[in-house]
A and B are shown apart, each in its own frame.
Chain A
Amino acid sequence: ETGVTQTPRHLVMGMTNKKSLKCEQHLGHNAMYWYKQSAKKPLELMFVYNFKEQTENNSVPSRFSPECPNSSHLFLHLHTLQPEDSALYLCASSQTPAAPDTQYFGPGTRLTVL
């Protein structure tokens, strides 16, 4: 499935760095999501966007800042992260945020915070 792409695939950053993760979907969907996948834990929903508007912030620390300039692109801006933020960050999209609509995932960005 190449409908959702993410860059970079791997990222190593220090706690004082600022970096951004990018997600692009080519499926014509209107809803986009950020998830965090840590070892031994279920995927955690971070943010939901619908038609570029944020509709869900799952109590995510402010050091994670999402941006959705249009329905095809989603960014996650990172600054002053902590080592416990190291994880796989997955982007997903669906036609709408409604429950019947299947979410399609990107390959993820493996983030390591030193």
Chain B
Amino acid sequence: AQTVTQSQPEMSVQEAETVTLSCTYDTSESDYYLFWYKQPPSRQMILVIRQEAYKQQNATENRFSVNFQKAAKSFSLKISDSQLGDAAMYFCAYRYTDKLIFGTGTRLQVFP
């Protein structure tokens, strides 16, 4: 069965600094999709970035980038120039079929 593991329940970063959130997953499939979602206190789950497993190039979206290591089944999220508005729960997710499988999340605190 596919599983997603986020081993860091909480992380903190100073404003303007860089932070990396870890995610590993388990699958026997070769073609799948990975996502990072952000859930601020407003609870709206917002897509941050997505990665297609067949693409070797790491996805980038403004200050957000991923380090996708397919062989290691690792999918970390790097947030550069952290801002106060980045404070939220971050969920890593995997999708192969119609099911989106989530990790337990990492709570990110941003200090001024």
Could you list which residues of chain A lie within 8 angstroms of chain B, going by C-beta atoms?
A: 1, 31, 33, 40-43, 45, 48, 50, 55-56, 88, 90, 92, 97-100, 102-108, 110
Do A107 and B42 touch across chains, with their CB atoms under 8 A apart?
yes
A residues less than 8 Å from B78 (CB atoms): none
Number of chain B residues close to chain A: CB under 8 A: 25
A100-B33, A102-B50, A108-B43 known; A43+B99 contact, CB < 8 A: no
A102-B35, A105-B45, A107-B43 known; A43+B98 contact, CB < 8 A: no
Supply 8 A–B pairs (Cβ within 8 Å), ascending by A: A42-B4, A48-B99, A55-B98, A97-B97, A100-B33, A102-B50, A103-B100, A108-B44
Do A40 and B47 touch across chains, with their CB atoms under 8 A apart?
no
Q: Is B86 an interface residue (CB 8 A)?
A: no
Do A99 and B96 touch across chains, with their CB atoms under 8 A apart?
yes
B residues less than 8 Å from A99 (CB atoms): 32-33, 95-98
A33 to B99 CA separation, bound complex (whole angstroms):
10
A104 to B99 CA separation, bound complex (whole angstroms):
14
A102 to B48 CA separation, bound complex (whole angstroms):
11
Do B47 and A100 touch across chains, with their CB atoms under 8 A apart?
no
